[in-house]
Amino acid sequence: MNLRAVATGIGHYLPERIVPNSEFEKTLDTTDEWIRTRSGIERRHFAAEGETTSQMAVHAAHRALEMAELGVDDIDAVIVATSTPDLTFPSVATMVQEGLGMTRGFGYDVQAVCAGFIFALANANGMILSGQAEKVLVIGAETFSRIMDWTDRSTCVLFGDGAGALVLEARTGSGSAEDRGILASDLNSDGRYRDMLYVDGGVSSTGTTGKLRMQGNPLFRQAVGKLAATADAALGKAGLTSDAVDWIVPHQANIRIIQGTAKKMGLPMDKVVVTVQDHGNTSAASIPLALSVGVARGQIKPGDLLVAEAIGGGLAWGAVVLRW
């Protein structure tokens, strides 16, 4: 029997407040033109005062469960990818359990920054294939607005808040790349790059939350090569090449990185789900948000072959190949 972790529901939540680039012109030496041309971002959503990562995750989870036609008691495990938890502990995942009214199963968080959802998907796949869980909610949720330095124009214009949730269910497949579900993943990290993207505070160092610091240009130069390589590696593990791909679902950090990666993979932009203009960089939430929007737009259809890829703080990067 070949078990597969098959996607049966997807949903997302974006906070109500939408902030256009022009709003930053009032307080920073920046322009809408610079932000658009350098990053592709036009607007982003920011959480309301008091609105937390777990609350956004619960909204997204409800929508994913609805599409999967499942109740909370059907779920065996909740895995949340986040770097912006409500509290240092307990995990956001256990807060999501409580928010959903889920009294069985287990939940925990995964922290791989912008690559977090990829790591969480690979982890959920392992849980399903090993028989630990049959139905898993995998969520990416972030409130990056809370770790912005609002005086640093090189970072605070790039990030946004939001959440996306995916339901994975154990199904029997044939073992071939024609199966629906997760077909392969490729995970990487290298701590030597930590100064490129980090938060300058934490529990055991400063005792503070800290603010995000990024060397954007050096990171940009790492991103395209590493993303194309990990996407190709994941496709190779599934016995496929990029010719088979219907949709790239990339981490939405910068339109130029998205374009560069597609080009390196030999794929046209009409095979790429792009949401960066509306969401900015929502870190671990960016891929499930893009997946959910791609499905809602009617771009992603059952049977389509997707490759999702992301890179972020660590550096940590990876890709998942999934037949929808």
Residues 206-225 close enough to bind ligand UT7 by CB under 6 A: 216-217, 219-220, 223
Q: Is 153 in the site for ligand UT7 (CB under 6 A)?
A: yes
Among residues 125, 251, 254, 279, which one is catalytic?
Answer: 251
Among residues 12, 114, 156, 254, which one is catalytic?
Answer: 114
Rounded Cα distance, 2 and 140, in Å: 27
Q: Which of 78, 93, 96, 157 binds ligand UT7 (CB under 6 A)?
A: 157
CB closer to ligand UT7 out of 9 and 116 = 116
Q: What is the total count of residues that contact ligand UT7 (CB under 6 A)? A: 21
Q: Which of 281, 282, 292, 299 binds ligand UT7 (CB under 6 A)?
A: 281
Encoded tokens for 28: 């920073």
End-to-end CA distance of the chain: 20
Q: Which of 18, 25, 30, 277 binds ligand UT7 (CB under 6 A)?
A: 30
Among residues 21, 123, 125, 281, which one is catalytic?
Answer: 281
Residue 114 falls in the annotated catalytic set: yes
Q: Is 75 in the site for ligand UT7 (CB under 6 A)?
A: no
Nearest distance from C-beta of residue 249 to ligand UT7, angstroms: 15
Q: Is 259 in the site for ligand UT7 (CB under 6 A)?
A: no
Strands (DSSP E) found in the chain = 2-13, 17-20, 43-46, 77-81, 106-110, 135-143, 161-173, 181-189, 197-199, 212-214, 247-250, 305-312, 316-323
Q: What Rg, from alpha-carbon coordinates, does the chain have?
A: 18
CB closer to ligand UT7 out of 30 and 277 = 30
Residue 62 falls in the annotated catalytic set: no
Encoded tokens for 112: 């791989």
Is the bond preceding 65 in cis, omega lying within 30 degrees of 0? no
Rounded Cα distance, 237 and 78, in Å: 26
CB closer to ligand UT7 out of 94 and 281 = 281
Answer for the pair 45, 286: CB distance below 8 angstroms, yes or no. Answer: no
CB closer to ligand UT7 out of 247 and 317 = 317
Rounded Cα distance, 316 and 260, in Å: 19
Residues 109-148 close enough to bind ligand UT7 by CB under 6 A: 114
Supply the residues annotated as catalytic.
114, 251, 281
